[in-house]
Structure 1
Amino acid sequence: MDQAPGSPQEPQGPQGAAGLPSCYRHPGRETGISCTRCERPICPECMVSASVGFQCPECVKDGSGTGHSPAANRPRTIAGGSVAEDPFLVTKILIGLNAAVFALVLVLGGRFVAETELIGLAISPQLGEIVGVADGQWYRLLTAVFLHQEVPHILFNLLGLWFLGRMVEPALGRGRYLALYLISGLGGSALAYLIAAPNQPSLGASGAIFGLMGAFAVLARRSNLDMRPVALILAISLLLTFTRPDISWEGHIGGLVAGTLITLGMVYAPRERRTLVQLGVSGAVLLAIVITVVARTAALG
């Protein structure tokens, strides 16, 4: 992964009377907003709306604000990823995968669900045998993330994926966004496996969606956006999680925590060690998931 353009050592402008930095193009104009790429302070006149936050005119023009080399001039996301021609491609693919698996459910029925849903350890009536993660079927931690049985369930999750994905994917870049989605889904599965009853089945993309929700909150904070609408959306989602029946709150919370931690590592990593920190944080979350699954499996014997 290449580093993002710009540098934290670039001139930040003089400090105003209130302690806020001044716009780098208009000295004396205090501002609390900075360019999401080069991090230089910019006033409302210089702000150019981006997928997340605002950019300065120079970064919009050449993708960097530095102009030092062709590599530096390549546009980069706030997390250092490449800016793609289609910024929503991975989101579209994930929606397609969820829809394809739902089609398989409609065609193959309950037996397919029994072979792929998340379950700790139980006797499956459809299969007539012992099944579950504790029986060595670790693949269920991932397959359950793409599995839905009811039309309202998949429609709600895919709407959430489309809404959040269109904000998170352009901000992180394709590779980082895909890693965030998958690890968040695994985080939700792992917490459900740890806490829920062993014979309690669970399925759906909700854990991954809550991971995107946590990522969006981090990105909004990183870009100095108004956090009140974000907090309201998160509060409503959590309220529904704990008040509606037949909801795996463990999956939601597990995905939310995993997604938040990964995005914090991605967007706040020091530029000079960005790749190392991003891989380290993502790897640490994934390791915690593995440890959780191993410990729960040992407890179930």
Structure 2
Amino acid sequence: MPTYLCHGFRWHRRDIRIFVIVNNLEDAAPDWLVGRTSSAMILGQFANAFDFLPKQTPAPQPAAGPAEAKKAALHRDDDFSLPPPRVPASDDNVLANEWSPVKLLEEYDLEETASAARPYAYVADYAVRVDLSANVADEMAKYEAMAKQRGGTWLEKLRDQLQAGAAIQWYVVVCADEERAAPEEDLDNEDSDDEPSTPTREFPMRQDVQTTSITADRPATGSGRSRDGGNAKQDDGQQPELEFLNEDPFKANPQHGLRHKLSTKGLRRLFSKKDGS
């Protein structure tokens, strides 16, 4: 987890929100100042609003002399120098904005869930990342030399503008949030489980059952019909013979309707009257 040794003051969260709203910094997150977008916008607003801030110049990198090269050849147990930082300054959210003399820091603990954000952030004029250890006296001496080179009391002026009355001192800040990106889901292992899978039982395939149709005993009529599976298939264009019509008793002995009876009786009466007259 990143740990920083810094010199500065605490900026209260309520005042941070007011600063973001008043200056219309829509893309800045007041609850997380160390984000790349948030820190760039807030530090840019500092540079525009406060002309007393010094211009930041990149610190020269000391060249390795022959003594240091000779010391590197010694046994590892005799080398008390710290290894180079694991994370370059360009990849560190706090140290990335080298163009600004102001550094913004946040406290963060993954296990602390009582509040969404800490009640304050840090505004510093000096910050160093501590990977393994740090010599506090050496870092304070470096800061004193840098402050003399810059000159002025610009940090006190900035404190009066942002958080009047806040103490300016040294702090050790722990920010245990190196990566906020969501982990990528592995779709291939999504269905995998540590528990053994339940064996499945294989059942035999169901055979096709041939159905037979029961037909009544009837005299075969027509030689052009063929039977397939109990269903008669008629030839194209040939009408089926309706056998039940041939056995219709009404067709052999048709009964006369009521109209026929009335008309017959009426004619008989008519002719009988004529004969009687």
When normalised by structure 2's length, the TM-score is 0.26
Q: Which of the two has higher C-alpha Rg?
A: 2
The structure in which a higher percent of residues are strand is 2
When normalised by structure 1's length, the TM-score is 0.25
Relative contact order: is structure 1 or structure 2 higher (C-alpha 8 Å, sep ≥ 6)? 2
The structure in which a higher percent of residues are helix is 1
